[in-house]
Amino acid sequence: MQLSEFELEVISLLWKLEESTAPELHKEIIKDKDVTYSTVKTIIDRLEKKAAIKRIKNYGRTIVYAPAVKQESLQKPMIKKFIEKVCAGNPRLLLNHLMEDEKLSDDDIAYLQSIINKRK
């Protein structure tokens, strides 16, 4: 499933909130981004059409939405696409950036080391 940056922003907010209405999502999104309600509703409709979110209940004319896919199910293909597009298909560039430029905790480093050890 391919999602635009804004679609990803909306579904990420839904993952965080677990369920929400279009007006509630719009209220959260406009804290950081100047977008109209109709734009947010269009993105919600697209996500529903892609089966990324689903309607779970109605309050009169207000619809409550929830994620229909788990965050993890979108992460792997998106990371793979990122590596292909941004890193020219070379995961070393991403790993190098993570190791040199990001603040990794000792637990993060131990986790990465355990993955490397399993691959040997």
- Among 14, 33, 34, 31, smallest CA distance to 22 is for 14
pLDDT tens track for 102-114: 888 899 889 989 9
pLDDT tens track for 88-102: 999 998 888 888 888
How many degrees, rounded to 5, is the angle at CA 88 between CA 83 and CA 89? 55
Please report, rounded to a whole number, the percentage of residues in the chain having pLDDT higher than 70.
Answer: 100
- pLDDT interval class at 27 (50, 70, 90): very high
Q: What domains can be seen in the chain, in order of their start residue? A: 5-67 (1.10.10.10), 71-119 (no CATH)
Report whether 40 contacts 29 (CB < 8 A). yes
pLDDT value of position 99: 84
Whole-model pTM: value is 0.73
CA atoms of 112 and 12, how far apart (whole Å): 25
CA atoms of 26 and 37, how far apart (whole Å): 6
| CA 3 to centroid of chain Cα atoms | 9
Task: Find the mean pLDDT for residues 81-87.
Answer: 88
What is the token pair recorded at 100? 């040199």
pLDDT value of position 119: 87
- Mean confidence (pLDDT) of the chain: 91
